Amino acid sequence: MNIFSFTGLTIVLAIISVTIKKYAPEFFILFNIISSITLMIFLLPYIKKILNEVDLLFESAEFPVHVKSAIFKTLGICLLTKFATDICEDSDQRTLADKINIFGKISMLLTAMPIFKNVIEIATNIFNYNG
């Protein structure tokens, strides 16, 4: 699927979504969730290619496995948080969207702790080496 097909499909889904919101608002959120999942399924092959390339970059740079894992997990948390936040905002649930954002940020920080530890360790070694 190229960008024109994907954009066309997205525009059609948006038009249907607006129509559903006007005439059958009880199905609006369900349709948006299904539409979003459908669009993500179309994007999966491209996402997989990107992740494979990033994985090769990590391997060639000889990053520790726990750092690579933390980065991928953090990216996943970021994407899921954005997805859930958008769904909540579409349903006029701004308060819930804010809570999801906070939880996502906390989760990302916890997941990225191994990276922070490595950075602090490297900085400490540099200062101790020069001092």
The string of pLDDT tens digits covering residues 47-69 is 899 889 988 888 888 878 888 88
Contact 86, 36 (CB under 8 A): yes
Q: Using CA atoms, how far apart are residues 5 and 8, in angstroms rounded to an integer? A: 5
Contact 74, 44 (CB under 8 A): no
Mean per-residue pLDDT for 20-29? 91
- The position carrying tokens 């059958």 is 24
pLDDT of 1 > 90? The answer is no
Q: Provide the pLDDT for residue 94.
A: 93
Q: Using CA atoms, how far apart are residues 35 and 18, in angstroms rounded to an integer? A: 12
Full-model pTM: 0.75
Please count the other Cβ atoms lying within 10 Å of the Cβ belonging to residue 67: 17
Kindly list the domain boundaries of the chain, sorted by start residue: 63-131
Contact 87, 32 (CB under 8 A): yes
pLDDT of 37 > 70? The answer is yes
The string of pLDDT tens digits covering residues 86-116 is 988 988 899 999 999 999 999 999 999 988 8
